[in-house]
Amino acid sequence: MKRQVFVILVAFLAYQVNSSQIRDIIDEAEKQLAELKSIVEGNILLSHVTLKNLEYDFLSNNHNVLTQGVVSIQQESETISAQVQSIKDLAQAANKDISSCTSIREELLKRLPAEYGEQLKECIFHLNREEATFVTESKYIIDISINKVHHLEHQFEQCNREIVCISPLLTEIQMDKIRLPQNIKTQVTAVESLLTSLKVSATQCSDRFVSQYTSDANSILQDIISCANRIIG
């Protein structure tokens, strides 16, 4: 009889220990899941702040590049206009009519700054649109990271406190505490990398159209000079 009681007591204690371990695992899973949710939500919020700052810096940079490019074109235009006026003054002093050299060409010179300025603006705006599209897509990818947490929460509920179901889920939760923040960081890094590249493209836009304007305008100026020299002698 004493042996039977002893066996029952041992079995009861073993059950108690096992039940305690199960509760510990369940409690740990709940704790880890809550921590995962907090970590992912925090990383999502932080990524939005970072992306907003990156966007602001990018758009400010492009605005400055565009402004400086337009100013460079305007300054070159003013220099060329002054040179044309000098040629006209020389012709007037020599009592020569060079209107055939200047009339059409001056109209071209007046139109060129606005035309190249518009092309530069469109080039920059195209980059801005590319940036906006990429950032929007990246924000979406970042935001849906929380869906994985919701999926794990649903799985946890479906386990119905069964340890054989919860144990592998706990492992997955612990892995996602590392994996999901890293995925968010990777997405932010991709945006930063693209924006750095697009900044270079913006500078190239400006350099290209300023250079093209300078080349075309000076070519017209040289035509005026050559024509005027033939008449003035």
Q: Each residue of 14-56: pLDDT tens digit? A: 344 356 677 878 888 899 999 999 999 999 999 999 999 999 9
Span 94-119, average pLDDT: 93
Under the banding of pLDDT at 50, 70 and 90, the label for residue 102 is very high
| Burial (Cβ within 10 Å: 0-12, 13-18, ≥19) of residue 77 | buried
Is residue 113 scored above 80 in pLDDT? yes
Q: What percent of the chain stands above pLDDT 90? A: 76
Of 3-7, 182-186, 218-222, which gets the smallest average pLDDT? 3-7
In a domain, 13, yes or no: no
**17 belongs to a structural domain:** no
* 189 inside domain: yes
In a domain, 117, yes or no: yes
Residue 19 counted as domain residue: no
Does residue 145 have a pLDDT over 80?
A: yes
Does 21 fall in a domain? no
- Residue 164 pLDDT > 80: yes
| Cβ burial, residue 38 (10 Å; 0-12/13-18/19+) | exposed
Which pLDDT does position 15 carry in this prediction?
Answer: 40
Task: Count the domains in the chain.
Answer: 1
Q: Locate tokens 């305007």: which residue?
A: 74
CATH assignment at residue 93: 1.20.1270
Q: Which domain holds residue 204?
A: 39-232
Residue 31 resides in a domain:
no
Average pLDDT of the chain to the nearest whole number: 90
- pLDDT for 174 beyond 80: yes
For residue 28, being part of any structural domain is answered with: no
